[in-house]
Amino acid sequence: MISKVYKEDDNRPKLLEDEFRQIGVDFDGVVHACTKGYHDGTIYDDPIEGSYNALLKLSKKYDIVIYSAKARPDRPLVNGMTGIELIWEWLEKNDMKKFIKDVTAIKPRAIFYIDDRAVRFKDWHSCLNQLDLQ
């Protein structure tokens, strides 16, 4: 249930439509396995198991924006392509393009984020506890 990840009692004003329907999904480590890290800049791995079905289910309720450091404009071209172009090509090759609204290097406005490197924030005490910094 979304209430486990999103504060439904959040009283901040929501001014834009994407703040009601959009979610952010990290690419490397969430959709693309990325077992070698940056390696040579290519997108070389298969999808993480369950990615296709997860994106299918999520896309029925939300607009999905993929975000990735690979999409940063300061990254070198790989085979003449930008990171954004490489990601779109990989999504198409793996039949997932149809689930995605956009690909960006910038953290998008979203209801919630799915990211393999996130630390769940509830309050500073529990956040620092998760990081063994208490």
Q: Give the SS3 label for residue 57.
A: helix
The verdict on residue 3 lying in a domain is no
Q: Over the stretch 40-56, which tens digit does the pLDDT of each residue have?
A: 999 999 999 999 999 99
Q: Bridge-partner residues for 78, per DSSP?
A: 81
- 70: domain CATH number is 3.40.50
The verdict on residue 6 lying in a domain is no
The verdict on residue 60 lying in a domain is yes
Select from 114, 85, 88 the least CA-distant residue to 101: 88
The verdict on residue 5 lying in a domain is no
Q: What is the pTM of this model?
A: 0.86
The verdict on residue 10 lying in a domain is no
- 79: containing domain: 17-130
The verdict on residue 82 lying in a domain is yes
The verdict on residue 11 lying in a domain is no
Q: Over the stretch 3-31, which tens digit does the pLDDT of each residue have?
A: 445 555 566 666 677 678 999 999 999 99
Q: How many domains does the chain have?
A: 1
Structural contact between residues 100 and 108, judged by C-beta atoms closer than 8 angstroms: no
